Structure 1
Amino acid sequence: MANEAVLKYLVDTNRPYSCADVTVNLRGAFTKSAVQKALDYLSENAKIRCKLYGKQKVYAAIQPENVVEEGDTEDYDAQCKSITEELLEKSNTLKTTEINLKTILSAPTTDSAKSQIEELKRRIEGFENKLKVLSTSTNIISAEEKTAIMSQHEKFLKEYRKRKRISSDIIEAVLEGYPKSKKSFLEELCIETDEMVNFKLMN
């Protein structure tokens, strides 16, 4: 009796089900054990088809008017693979097209490019005029002004070297009792040396 009920259900629904699905869908008319026995019997007698997906068995009715052969299944697998490959190819083409479109949209328009060119021409002309004025200028500072500037520069240079020496002495004195490296100490105090920032005095 379970055989007929299970077969009728699979034929009527024409969908693949597991043993647990059939048992639940028959609303407890038969136990899971009875349903499993019926499925095994029908499968062995070629009334239904059994497919193994991982560890789970799935059963489906073989409709008399549309019997699926193994060759047909292989054809469907080949079609699925072909369609998947085609989808991947189309996706790659779409991605490339989107990148090209983004590049095109980010480029300046013709009017914008012309405007930028004109602006650059004006700036170049301004620099050329300024260079011409500077190269032909006769404004030369006097010897007294030059001496005063050099004297002030020398004063500031001596003060800079003096303060740098004092700072180095203080840091070295602290490091004698400091448990970490000099680099760690400088980082904790947010101190940057001339060497760290590539600072060099101009001659």
Structure 2
Amino acid sequence: MASDAVLKYLVDSNRPYSCADVTVNLRGAYTKTVVQKTLDALSEAGKIKCKLYGKQKVYAAIQLDSVADEGDGEDYDSKLKSLTKDLAEKTNTLKEVETKLKTLTSTPTTDTAKSKIEEIKKRTEGLVKKLDTLRNSTEVVSAEEKKKF
């Protein structure tokens, strides 16, 4: 009875436990000595695995159906390499596209450029008119008047 409950608990939880942990987690249904004897018996029967860590014994259920083949590791290694290479390529492509986007957003649009050209032309025309009036003016400012200003 206790062996069935302990084995079911270890298989369901699918992680290693010490005797004290199993006793507490079974909510005191069995005493610690009964659980310890049951764990040792299951370990000797080969239904669970026991490992010693210093003075403490740790018990875990044996997982038969989840054992991986030897070739699986190589498959995962090759997949990892190909995915890493693909990630590097896509990262480089992303950087190139971001650089192109920055250059495109920093350059002015056609309408903006045309309006700036018109503003510069108007300013240039105004300055040329002012220069012409200054060149054609016959008023001479004396040195004394210059000193006043």
TM-score relative to the length of structure 1: 0.44
> What SS does the corresponding residue of 2:9 show, helix, strand or coil?
helix
Per-residue deviation, 1:47: 1.9
Report what 1:61 is aligned to: 61
Shift of residue 90 of structure 1?
4.3
d(CA) in 2 for partners of 1:59, 1:84? 37
Match of residue 27 from structure 2: 27
Identity of aligned residues (%): 35
Q: In structure 1, what is the equivalent of residue 9 of structure 2?
A: 9
CA 1:135–1:148: 2 relative to 1, 3 Å: closer
Gaps of 5+ in 2: none
Aligned to 1:136, what secondary structure does the other structure show?
Answer: helix
**What is the letter of the counterpart of residue 5 of structure 1?**
A
Instruction: Tell whether the 8 Å contact from 1:14 to 1:60 is kept in structure 2 after alignment.
Output: no
* Counterpart Cα distance in 2 of 1:50 and 1:127: 91
Question: Could you tell me how far 1:117 is from its partner in structure 2?
Answer: 1.6
CA contact (8 A) 2:6 2:35 kept: yes
| Aligned counterpart in structure 1 of residue 118 of structure 2, from 111, 117, 122 | 122
Change in Cα spacing, 1:125 to 1:5, as seen in structure 2 (3 Å) is same
Distance 2:51 2:80 in 1: 23
In 2, the alpha carbon distance for the partners of 1:50 and 1:23 equals 16
Distance 1:99 1:49, change over 3 A: farther
The structure showing larger relative contact order (alpha-carbon pairs under 8 Å, at least 6 residues apart) is 2
Confirm or deny: 8 A CA contact 1:50 1:59 kept in the other structure: yes
Hey, what does 1:143 align to over in structure 2?
Answer: 141
Q: After TM superposition, give the deviation of residue 16 of structure 1 in Å.
A: 1.9
Q: What is the aligned partner in structure 1 of residue 48 from structure 2?
A: 48
Correspondence for 1:158 = none
Q: 1:133 to 1:37 in 2, by over 3 A?
A: farther
CA RMSD of aligned residues (A): 5.0
Match status 1:104 vs 2:101: yes
Q: Which amino acid aligns with 1:134?
A: K
